[in-house]
């Protein structure tokens, strides 16, 4: 026989057997709050109910005594997994209707009966909802009559009168709704396991109708958007259930005094005070901001239910910190309560309102923040741009799940169709990425163009700015402002930093990156890709001259022009970082990134170099590589043309001396890229030590530096013991290491990655999520072998994975000293790292 449990102080109720709502109701009862009689059906009972097992409905009804009305509500393990909607007023029939007409008046009795007939017909008997919808102008009495008639017409039977039968039907239909395929898929999409159970709650209804003060309402003590303390909620007289309070309901009272209208506080100060006190008690004892659902029945207050206040990421952070500041939860708990990834949303860049804006298109502001990127029209292109390190904005008619990979590779999403709950909008908010939907554009995906209302046309690769907060797409790169950081954010991050035991640095190539990194409290720069300092303008030309030089003298001349540029770059970086470590990677330019890709570019270069076009074309051909990512990159360039790294070392040392004069002493870190053999490190070390000696001699200044190696080839990881003999630190470049461990091209994998992930070949794109089993093993081997030879060796990761919470957990467990990630991911990494410590302490 199917069991049920009266919820009492000591009843055996657990979240994993009866669901969160049942457990919460038990807590409310333990707080002596006036909760009406409540019975819980376990997951197991509900499952058996769905399978058709009989149960003693009369016995269940007897618990509630003398024929009250009942409600049934779902109780799943996690409220986010959803569940069937509540059904109220079970037990209404003609006889009860007559009694209530006597005691509460005809209108109240009609409303109660109508509500139940509607819910029963539509949700239990699955009749056409349209037959049971009535215009507000139809008097309740007539609506009830029509509903009862419609029921009889459709089913051939009068409306069921037996409360036990009604209850049995309601319970069984809710149990079956949970087992349906659509419901299962929906909750699995929210992370529920395939066998997630549903509990059901049967509760005696306190009538919010009748003589004296009667009504229903909800109350909470914080604002769900900002997390600020405020008594918020609604109360409707002569009403029942949350649904009655929905938007547009007339006659709704405010809770606390409000200029806009009548409030419960003024109308019933004692009841109001009691209600607020109960909600405060919930906050303290349930250690959470709760939204309390209540009913006032003839002047008496009842608490029907309480749920976590739904909240924005910003509110979640403030609530967690405030609870800890009030001593209700420990700081570690507050740290754990804020999902690390939600900080990205919180710390969005915003489009600078003072910068000029040429509005290309307007749409719905679906996800906040600003982003600048190049237009792409499909997922594959988005991934290609991302692999090249070029931010892109994906423009689609609308998005589908197939686009998710591309969305992850983009910095913003713009769609022609859709509303605030469209796929693009929901996913973008989830990722915390700016998104504008339903924009005034026409897309031609085949031609890869988009046409604006005024007839202008944009193409793939054109730069636009997306203002997800204003719902606008703007021409070109509009200035972006760093996000605002408030007291709550700063406090939480201070607490996080205080317990964190793995360092977090930023990958920063330019002074502006470094400034963002400082702003986000990175503990230094973990990777400065020096070749990125030469992507623009005149500098690119000098860089190309150096790469193009066939003769030593020509190269020496280009290098001499690069030296002062590099020196001033480094001085600026050192000054911004004020003595924090700065790890400078020597040139690692995949040559193709610096060669002109078309005739026009070749012509420009010929002009700049004052060479005939044919010479330039021939040289481009000569320099072209079949596989540039595995070609003359990194240390191979440094060994072949030692003067390049010598110039960089000189620039670093001269900048060190200069920056140390004005501020904290600088100890630069110099990192050699793409190493695969011990001898490469020995050769470069000898060169650099030589430059250091020369600069010391020339200037008479003293300085120290740390030389380290970037582990990006599987061989370097395996031979880390050899390599560490000449290295103060090893930093794992997991982008190249993933590329080489799998033999996957970083630039081309996008073409088949979708198919691979969809078919389960890879659980995830290994360029996004560190492959713990394979690449991860190389990391562990490298760290272990390196440290065996040199116990004080600093070990770090600086590939894209460095900002990913799961990878941070992996690196911490493997004993790494720090992770380094892009500046905007630094706060996420700081919090994620602290959460590991907080979780350990639990
Ligand atoms: C890496 O390979 O992981 C890395 C950080 O270097 P890059 O991305 O510049 O190749
Ligand atoms: Mg690399």
- Mapped onto helix, strand or coil, the DSSP state of residue 735 is helix
Nearest alpha carbon, ligand 1 atom 8: 735
Q: Counting atoms of ligand 1 from 1, which one is nearest the CA of 527? A: 5
Q: Which of 139, 143, 21 is nearest to 84 (CA)?
A: 21
Neighbours of 324 (CB within 10 A): 20
CB within 8 A of 119, min separation 6: which ones? Answer: 87, 88, 89
Pairing of strands 290-297, 392-396: unpaired
Neighbours of 770 (CB within 10 A): 27
Does the structure show a pLDDT above 90 at 473? yes
Q: Any idea which ligand is nearest the CA of 779?
A: 1
Per DSSP, the residues of 341-384 read: THHHHHT--EE-TTS---EEEE-EEEE--EEEEEEE-SHHHHHH
Q: Is the CB of 736 under 6 A from ligand 1?
A: yes
Task: Assess if residue 784 is contained within a domain.
Answer: yes
The chain-wide mean pLDDT, for the chain, equals 90
Read off the pLDDT band of 1 (50, 70, 90). Answer: low
Q: Which of 293, 311, 329 is the last residue of a domain?
A: 311
Measured at the alpha carbon of residue 793, what is the angle toward residues 789 and 799, in degrees to the nearest 5?
A: 120
Helix (H) or strand (E) holding 694: helix 678-699
Does one domain contain both 239 and 355?
no
> DSSP characters for 133-175?
---TTS-HHHHHHHHHHHHHHHHSSPPP--HHHHHHHHHHHHH
Distance CA 639, CA 53 (A): 78
> What are the backbone angles phi and psi of residue 376, rounded to the nearest 5°?
-130, 155
Instruction: Let me know whether 116 and 229 are in one domain.
Output: no
Indicate which atom in ligand 1 lies nearest the CA of residue 798: 5
Q: Taking a C-beta distance cutoff of 8 angstroms, is the pair 271, 296 a contact?
A: yes
The pLDDT score that the predictor gives to residue 197 is 94
Q: Where are the alpha helices (DSSP H) in 579-677?
A: 599-609, 613-623, 634-640, 642-662
pLDDT band with cut points at 50, 70 and 90 for residue 400: confident
In this structure, is residue 181 part of a structural domain? yes
Is the pLDDT confidence value at 402 over 80?
no
- Only one residue has tokens 């270069």, namely 605
Residue pLDDT, tens place only, 430-458: 566 899 988 999 999 889 999 999 999 99
Residue 210 has pLDDT above 80, yes or no: no
713 alpha carbon – ligand 2 mean position (Å): 9
Predicted confidence at residue 104, as pLDDT, reads 84
Q: Which residue has the tokens 């919808």?
A: 133
Q: What share of the chain is helix, strand, coil (3-state, %, to 5)?
A: 50, 20, 35
Same domain for 684 and 570, yes or no, is yes
- Residue 739 CA: which ligand 1 atom is closest? 2
Q: Residue 470: its pLDDT value, please?
A: 85
Ligand 1 centroid–CA 593 distance in Å is 14
CATH of the domain at 289: 3.30.470.20
| pLDDT number for residue 181 | 86
Ligand 1 site-directed mutation target among 505, 506, 529, most atoms within 8 Å of CB: 529
Q: Which residue owns the Cα nearest ligand 1 atom 10?
A: 736
> Alpha-carbon distance 338 to 834, whole Å?
11
**Cβ(842)–Cβ(835) under 8 Å?**
no
The pLDDT, as a whole number, for residue 729 is: 98
Question: Do residue 262 and residue 165 come from a single domain?
Answer: no
Q: Confirm or reject: Cβ of 712 under 6 Å from ligand 1.
A: yes
Q: Which ligand is located closest to the Cα atom of residue 820?
A: 1
Question: In this model, does residue 536 exceed pLDDT 70?
Answer: no
What's the CA gap between 405 and 427, in Å, rounded? 11
- 524 with 577: CB under 8 angstroms? yes
Nearest to 801 by CA among 790, 813, 809, 791: 809
Cβ of residue 798 lying under 6 Å from some atom of ligand 1: yes
Q: How far apart are CA 343 and CA 313, in angstroms?
A: 8
For residue 735 and ligand 1, the question of a CB distance below 6 A is answered with: yes
One domain for residues 385 and 293: no
The reported pLDDT for the residue numbered 50 is 93
Residue ending a domain, choose from 153, 180, 204: 204
| Ligand 1 pocket mutation pick from 590, 673, 730, 818 by most atoms within 8 angstroms of CB | 673
- Residue 504: predicted pLDDT: 98
Q: How far apart are CA 731 and CA 711, in angstroms?
A: 6
Q: Does 379 score more than 70 pLDDT? A: yes
Instruction: Provide the pLDDT for residue 698.
Output: 97
| 492 close to 335: Cβ distance less than 8 angstroms | yes
> Which whole number is the average pLDDT over 580-605?
84
Nearest CA to ligand 1 atom 1: 733
Question: Does the Cβ of 733 fall within 6 Å of ligand 1?
Answer: yes
**Smallest Cα–Cα separation from 221: which of 324, 301, 318?**
318
* Alpha-helix runs per DSSP H in 399-481: 404-409, 423-431
Q: For the domain that residue 107 is a member of, what is the CATH number?
A: 3.30.1490.20
Q: Let me know if 783 is exposed, middle or buried by CB neighbors in 10 A (0-12, 13-18, 19+).
A: buried
In short, whether 303's Cβ falls inside 6 Å of ligand 1 is no
The residues carrying an active-site annotation are 423, 798
C-beta atoms surrounding 469 within 10 Å? 17
Out of 507, 710, 782, mutate this one to test ligand 1's pocket (max ligand atoms within 8 Å of CB): namely 710
Q: What are phi and psi of 469, to 5 degrees?
A: -80, -35
Pairing of strands 370-376, 392-396: parallel
780: its two tokens: 């562990």
Whether residue 746 contacts residue 765, with contact meaning beta carbons closer than 8 Å, is answered with no
Residues 6 or more apart whose CB falls under 8 angstroms from that of 587 comprise 530, 531, 634, 637, 638, 644, 645, 648, 673
* Of 312, 299, 378, nearest in space to 345 by CA: 312
- Give a yes or no: residue 616 inside a domain: no
Say what the pLDDT of residue 785 is.
98
Q: What is the CA radius of gyration of the chain?
A: 33
Please report the DSSP string for 171-239 in residue order.
HHHHHHHHHSHHHHHHHHHTT--TT--EEEEEEEPPPS-SSSS-EEEEEEEE-TTT--EEEEEEEEET-
Residue range(s) defining the domain that contains residue 585: 500-538+553-590+634-841
CA-to-CA distance for 676 and 682, rounded, in angstroms? 12
pLDDT in tens, 538-586: 777 888 888 888 788 888 998 999 999 999 999 999 999 999 999 999 9
Q: Any idea which ligand is nearest the CA of 389?
A: 1
Number of domains in the chain: 4
The H or E element containing residue 96 is helix 94-104
Q: Is residue 225 part of a domain?
A: yes
Q: Would you state the pLDDT for residue 387?
A: 86
Distance 281 CA to ligand 2 centre (A): 55
Ligand 1 in reach of 451 Cβ (< 6 A)? no
Find the 692 Cα to ligand 1 centroid distance in Å.
Answer: 26
* Pairing status of strand 463-467 against strand 472-475: antiparallel
Q: Is the CB of 807 under 6 A from ligand 1?
A: no
Is residue 762 in a domain?
yes
Neighbours of 298 (CB within 10 A): 14
**What angle do helix axes 181-189 and 163-179 make, rounded to 10 degrees?**
60
DSSP bridge partners of 292: 219, 306
Is 60 exceeded by the pLDDT of residue 752? yes
Q: Which ranges of 763-825 would DSSP assign to H, the alpha helix?
A: 775-789, 805-813
Nearest atom (ligand 1) to Cα of 736: 2
Burial 174-200 (b: 16+ CB within 10 A, else e): bbbbbeeeebeeebeeeebeeebbbbb
- Put the strands of the sheet holding 300-308 in their side by side order: 252-253, 229-237, 215-222, 290-297, 300-308
Ligand nearest to the CA of 507: 1
Q: Spell out the residues 6+ positions from residue 768 whose beta carbon is closer than 8 angstroms to its own.
A: 408, 800, 801, 804
> 442 — phi, psi (to 5°)?
-125, 125
| Shortest-distance atom of ligand 1 to CA 799 | 3
Q: What is the CATH number of the domain that holds 670?
A: 3.20.20.60
Structure tokens at 242: 């949350």
Angle CA(427)–CA(433)–CA(437) in degrees, nearest 5? Answer: 65
| CATH number of residue 427's parent domain | 3.50.30.10
Give the range among 116-120, 246-250, 258-262, 625-629 with minimum mean pLDDT: 246-250
Distance 390 CA to ligand 1 centre (A): 14
785 Cα to the center of ligand 2, angstroms: 21
Specify if 337 maps to a domain.
no
- Pocket flag, ligand 1, residue 529 (CB < 6 Å): yes
Å from CA of 508 to ligand 2 middle: 14
**pLDDT at position 426, please?**
67
Instruction: Kindly state whether residues 288 and 376 are assigned to the same domain.
Output: no
Question: pLDDT at residue 226 above 90?
Answer: no
Among 505, 731, 733, 822, the mutation site with the greatest number of ligand 1 atoms within 8 A of its Cβ is 733
Same domain, 71 and 117: yes
Taking the CB of residue 487, how many other CB atoms lie within 10 A of it?
A: 9
Residues 780, 687, single domain; the answer is: yes
Q: Do 180 and 247 belong to one domain?
A: no
- Does residue 117 lie within any of the structural domains? yes
Ligand 1 atom closest to 507 (CA): 5
Q: Which residues pair with 278 in a beta bridge?
A: none
At residue 43, the pLDDT reads 95
pLDDT recorded at residue 244: 66
> Is the Cβ atom of 734 under 6 angstroms away from ligand 1?
yes
Element (H, E) at 256: none
What mean pLDDT comes out for the span 227-254?
78
CA 177 – CA 693 distance, rounded (Å): 78
For residue 596 the two structure tokens come to: 């002109």
CA 292 – CA 289 distance, rounded (Å): 10
The terminus-to-terminus CA distance of the chain in angstroms comes to 40
274 and 186 housed in the same domain: no
Q: Do 588 and 531 touch, CB atoms closer than 8 A?
A: yes
For residue 429, report the distance from its CA to the centre of ligand 1, in Å: 28
394 — phi, psi (to 5°)? -85, 125
Distance CA 618, CA 624 (A): 10
Binding site membership of 297 for ligand 1 (Cβ less than 6 Å): no
CB atoms within 10 A of CB 697: 9
Domain endpoint, select from 181, 204, 227: 204
- Binding-site residues for substrate, in ranges, read 529, 585, 712, 733-736
What is this structure's pTM? 0.80
| 738 Cα to the center of ligand 1, angstroms | 10
- The neighbour count for residue 62, using CB atoms within 10 Å, is 11
Detail the residues annotated as belonging to a binding site for Mg(2+).
712, 736
Longest dimension (CA), the chain: 107
Same-domain status, 392 and 423: yes
Q: For ligand 1, atom 6, name the residue with the nearest CA.
A: 733
Pocket test for ligand 1, best of 593, 736, 775 (most atoms within 8 A of CB): 736
Task: Find out whether 479 and 355 touch, Cβ atoms under 8 Å.
Answer: yes
Residue written as token pair 């009843």:
11
In which band, very low, low, confident or very high, does the pLDDT at 366 lie, cut at 50, 70 and 90? confident
Q: 316 lies in a domain?
A: no
Structure tokens at 344: 């990205």
Q: Distance (Å, rounded) from C-alpha 717 to C-alpha 710?
A: 10
Q: Are residues 389 and 419 in the same domain?
A: yes
Burial of 326 by CB count in 10 Å (0-12 exposed, 13-18 middle, 19+ buried)?
exposed
Ligand 1, atom 4: nearest CA belongs to which residue? Answer: 733
Give per-residue pLDDT as tens, 274-323: 999 999 999 999 999 999 999 999 999 999 999 999 888 888 999 999 99
């Amino acid at each position: 026989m199917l069991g049920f449990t009266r919820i009492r102080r000591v009843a055996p109720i657990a979240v994993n057997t009866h669901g969160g709502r049942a457990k919460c109701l038990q807590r409310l009862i333990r707080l002596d709050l006036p909760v009406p009689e409540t019975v819980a059906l376990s997951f197991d009972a509900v499952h058996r109910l769905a399978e058709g097992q009989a149960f003693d409905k009369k016995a269940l009804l007897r618990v509630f005594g003398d024929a009250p009305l009942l409600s049934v509500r779902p109780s799943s393990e996690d409220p986010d997994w959803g569940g069937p909607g509540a059904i109220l007023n079970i037990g209404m029939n003609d006889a009860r209707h007559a009694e209530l007409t006597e005691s509460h008046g005809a209108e109240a009795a009609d409303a109660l009966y109508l509500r139940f007939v509607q819910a029963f017909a539509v949700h239990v008997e699955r009749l056409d909802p349209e037959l049971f919808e009535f215009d507000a102008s139809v008097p309740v009495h007539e609506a009830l009559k029509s509903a009862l008639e419609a029921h009889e017409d459709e089913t051939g039977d009068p409306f069921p009168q037996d409360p036990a039968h009604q209850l049995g039907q309601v319970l069984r239909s809710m149990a079956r709704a949970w087992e349906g395929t659509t419901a299962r898929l929906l909750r699995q999409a929210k992370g529920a396991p395939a066998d997630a159970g549903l509990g059901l709650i049967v509760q005696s209804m306190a009538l919010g109708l009748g003589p004296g003060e009667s009504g229903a309402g909800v109350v909470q003590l914080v604002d769900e958007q900002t997390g600020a303390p405020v008594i918020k909620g609604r109360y409707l007289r002569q009403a029942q259930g949350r649904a009655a309070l929905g938007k547009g309901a007339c006659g709704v009272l405010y809770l606390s005094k409000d200029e806009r209208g009548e409030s419960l506080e003024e109308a019933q100060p004692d009841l109001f005070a009691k209600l607020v006190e109960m909600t405060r008690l919930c906050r303290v004892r349930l250690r959470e901001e709760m939204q309390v659902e209540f009913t006032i029945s003839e002047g008496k207050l009842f608490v029907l239910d309480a749920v976590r206040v739904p909240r924005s990421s910003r509110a979640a952070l403030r609530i967690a910190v405030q609870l800890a500041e009030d001593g209700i939860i420990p700081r570690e708990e507050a740290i754990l309560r804020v999902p690390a990834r939600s900080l990205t949303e919180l710390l969005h860049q915003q489009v600078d309102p003072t910068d000029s804006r040429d509005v290309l298109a307007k749409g719905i502001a679906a996800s906040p923040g600003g982003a600048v990127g190049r237009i792409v029209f499909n997922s594959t292109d988005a991934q290609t741009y991302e692999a090249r390190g070029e931010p892109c904005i994906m423009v689609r008619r609308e998005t589908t799940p197939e686009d998710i990979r591309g969305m992850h590779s983009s910095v913003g999403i713009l769609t022609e169709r859709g509303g605030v709950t469209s796929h693009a909008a929901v996913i973008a908010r989830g990722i915390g990425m700016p998104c504008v939907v339903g924009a005034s554009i026409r897309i031609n995906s085949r031609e890869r163009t988009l046409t604006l209302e005024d007839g202008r046309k944009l193409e793939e690769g054109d730069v636009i700015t997306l203002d997800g907060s204003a719902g606008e797409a703007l021409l070109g790169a509009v200035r972006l402002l760093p996000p605002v950081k408030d007291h709550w954010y700063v406090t939480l991050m201070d607490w996080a930093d205080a317990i964190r035991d793995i360092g977090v640095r930023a990958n920063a190539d330019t002074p502006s990156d470094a400034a963002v990194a400082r702003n986000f409290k990175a503990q230094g720069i973990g990777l400065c890709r020096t070749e990125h300092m030469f992507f623009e303008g005149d500098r690119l030309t000098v860089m190309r001259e150096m790469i193009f030089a066939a003769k030593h003298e020509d190269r020496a001349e280009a290098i001499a022009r690069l030296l002062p540029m590099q020196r001033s770059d480094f001085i600026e970086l050192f000054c911004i970082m004020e003595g924090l470590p700065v790890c400078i990677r020597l040139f690692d330019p995949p040559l193709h990134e610096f060669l002109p890709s078309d005739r026009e570019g070749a012509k420009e270069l010929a002009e700049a170099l004052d060479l005939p076009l044919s010479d330039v074309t021939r040289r481009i051909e000569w320099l072209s590589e079949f596989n540039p990512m595995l070609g003359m990159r990194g240390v191979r360039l440094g060994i072949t043309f030692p003067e390049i790294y010598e110039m960089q070392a000189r620039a670093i040392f001269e900048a060190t001396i200069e920056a140390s004069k004005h501020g904290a002493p600088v100890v630069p870190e110099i990192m050699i890229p793409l190493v695969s053999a011990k001898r490469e490190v020995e050769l470069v070390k000898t060169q650099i030590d030589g430059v250091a000696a020369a600069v010391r001699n020339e200037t008479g200044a003293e300085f120290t530096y740390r030389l380290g190696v970037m582990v990006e080839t599987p061989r370097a990881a395996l031979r880390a013991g050899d390599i560490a003999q000449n290295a103060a630190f090893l930093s794992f470049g997991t982008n190249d290491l993933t590329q080489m461990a799998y033999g996957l091209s970083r630039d081309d994998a996008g073409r088949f990655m979708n198919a691979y992930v969809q078919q389960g070949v890879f659980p995830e794109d290994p360029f996004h999520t560190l492959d713990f089993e394979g690449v991860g093993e190389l990391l562990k081997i490298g760290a272990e072998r390196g440290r065996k030879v040199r116990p004080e060796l600093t070990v770090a990761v600086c590939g894209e994975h460095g900002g990913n919470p799961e990878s941070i957990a992996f690196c911490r467990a493997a004993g790494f000293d720090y992770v380094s990630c892009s500046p905007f991911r630094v706060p996420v990494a700081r919090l994620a790292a602290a959460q590991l410590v907080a979780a350990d302490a639990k």
